[in-house]
Structure 1
Amino acid sequence: MNELSYVEKLSLPHSVLLDPETQRAAAYTGNHRLITETATPALVQYAQNPEWKVQKFDARQHAQGLPEWRPLPAWATPDVQARLLLVHLRPHGVQSDAEWQTIPKK
């Protein structure tokens, strides 16, 4: 496997905004840019690894100062936001390039 540069690692999915009811998800880079509003089934499945940090989406916090961070996908309407989960796709510690390359692209 090839070594990944810092920029390549940053452009991979680092977090997923997941609707656990519909299994719809959006993916974000390491600097919180939206990669896709419709994550692939492979990425949704990858995001359900119990090792990943999962937190409930906080719509109030997002509106107060972070709307430019992780812009919401069009499907994340106010009625859906109450059930959204934010999944961080990196375990604690440094990952090898091989581990980085297991993350589905979108």
Structure 2
Amino acid sequence: MPELSDAVELGVTELLANVVRHVPDRRCALLLLRQRTGVRVEVTDASDELPRLPDTLDTEAVNGRGLLLLDAMADKWGVSLWSGGGKTVWFECGGESAH
């Protein structure tokens, strides 16, 4: 699925950058799943802090665009909270509505 490689690479980079910036211990697990029609990526960390899209974006801001990029390039994405603490942020690319 080489047509998805740029989108998957960008999404992985953004999610890992969020871990480095926002998770105190910076540890995470990355899971790449090849699906019948595309790719699913999951990044799990120990933080309960939920990612959120910015309400506004300063055009001079150096960061803060990662989730906007993810929202634009992924077919769908979301967050799953773990009952023992932590979360998994995931996205999928591919399928009938692939970008």
TM range (shorter): under 0.3
Relative to the length of structure 2, the TM-score reads 0.26
Relative to the length of structure 1, the TM-score reads 0.25
Identify which of structures 1 and 2 has the higher relative contact order when contacts are C-alpha pairs closer than 8 Å and 6+ apart: 1
